[in-house]
Amino acid sequence: MSNAKVTLDGTDHQFPIVEGSENEVGIDIAKLRGSTGAVMLDPGYGNTGSCQSSITYIDGENGVLRYRGYPIEELAEQVSFEEVIHLLVWGELPNEERLEDLKAKLTEYAVVDEGIKKILEGFPRHAHPMAMLSSLFSAYETYYPTTGDSEEDVLRVLAGINTLAAYIYRYKEGLPYVYPSKDLDFSSNFLHMTYGSHGADPDIDEVVAKAIDKLLILHADHEQNCSASTTRMVGSAKASLYASIAAGVGALSGPLHGGANQAVLEMLRNIQEGEGDVAEYVELAKDKSSSFRLMGFGHRVYKNFDPRAKILKASADDVLDSLGLDDPLLDIARELEQVALEDEFFVKRRLYPNVDFYSGIIYRALEIPTEMFTVMFALGRVSGWVAQWQEMRNDPAFRIHRPRQIYIGENERSVPPISER
């Protein structure tokens, strides 16, 4: 194995180079502080590999996203969300028997304790859904005492979020809860529990169900993002899966992470209130002196077209055509999309529509309230959080996460008496 040389104060230090299966290169600096007395400073961890993982591979320069080696394009077109859950959490795509077993268990564990509903009903109806969701997962440990990392805990999280998301929506709308159906898949059950009538048989639009399924698949995991890293960080203290997932929900709630699709709709509303002149706002986006920013375009990781956005563009078109909607905001979105795909300013800078742009359009078409958008994100991402948490806990190099810092405060000083302060 080759080494990297670091020279500090004239002394050379050797550190092993680690190569990933896709030729990624990292320098193992686990012994850096012990051998040199120094630490690496990397604000935001943008150049720091926090772990070795076999779950998700991203090549941002070439627009590549794979779950355990499978291209996202093939997964989105050929398998169900339940199969992706199995792939991420249990490591491989399931056979028919295992898939049917997983579907049955997801239905079984989708039924939540009545006490969880009482906690939900104690929140103000105007509270943000993500705050509700995080609190409910924190409460899970009081109703379902954890045994560490059992499959039962995993199933309660994977199935429970479907019910919790639907119940949060129903509670905020003042509607009676609809229980999960054993005859429906994950995405159809979500639609049934969210939009169905209490006591009535399910009535599911297959085009919409398919679009939801793709959204969940595309959001299922995205490597060491903020919420996945948070889930790992909390789990590294040997906190329960429930506590770790609640923390992941909290991280996702931030506007710089999971709240981006909500920001897309708020931007479209601002354009509409400005008389809907898309060309005017496009010019504002080009103007560095303007405070206006186009939301839902470009991506921190992808320097090419977000592969998830290509898939969702087709789904958005299918949903809008199927529902036959006449919505001014969606018209603005489509016009903005066309400009961004053709205007040299955006093309040159690779500011293509991303997954948040199209997911926001689909959620709007389904009449999902804007503040519920991030809950929809979490609905898919929880499978990735569980997979990341399990991988971290089973890592032979497992240890509590504890970043270092460079102190820039005051040097040692004496405490003056209060009369002299």
Domain count for the chain? 3
Per the structure, the complete domain to which residue 269 belongs is given by: 260-365
In a domain, 124, yes or no: yes
In a domain, 408, yes or no: no
Task: Provide φ and ψ at 207, rounded to 5°.
Answer: -65, -45
Mark whether 356 is an active-site residue.
yes
Largest CA distance in the chain: 77
In a domain, 268, yes or no: yes
Mark whether 219 is an active-site residue.
no
How do the pLDDT tens digits run along the chain, 421 residues long? 689 998 998 899 999 999 999 988 999 988 989 989 999 999 999 889 999 999 999 998 888 999 999 999 999 999 999 999 999 999 999 999 999 999 999 999 999 999 999 999 999 999 999 999 999 999 999 999 876 668 999 999 999 999 999 999 999 999 999 999 999 999 999 999 999 998 888 999 998 999 999 999 999 999 999 999 999 999 999 999 999 999 999 999 998 888 877 888 888 888 888 766 888 888 888 888 988 888 888 887 887 778 898 888 888 888 888 888 777 877 888 888 888 778 888 888 888 888 888 888 888 888 899 899 999 999 999 999 999 999 999 999 999 999 999 999 999 999 999 999 9
If asked whether residues 38 and 146 sit together in one domain, one would say no
If asked whether residues 193 and 155 sit together in one domain, one would say yes
DSSP letters for 93-142: ---HHHHHHHHHHHHHTTPPPHHHHHHHTTS-TTS-HHHHHHHHHHHHHH
Q: What is the pTM of this model?
A: 0.91
If asked whether residues 139 and 245 sit together in one domain, one would say yes
Of 277, 356, 395, 401, which residue is the catalytic one?
Answer: 356
In a domain, 199, yes or no: yes
Picking from 60, 12, 13, 55, the residue whose alpha carbon sits closest to that of residue 32 is: 13
pLDDT tens sequence across 135-158 = 999 999 999 987 666 899 999 999
Of 299, 318, 321, 326, which residue is the catalytic one?
Answer: 299
In a domain, 361, yes or no: yes
If asked whether residues 197 and 142 sit together in one domain, one would say yes
Picking from 324, 327, 255, 331, the residue whose alpha carbon sits closest to that of residue 296 is: 255
In a domain, 407, yes or no: no
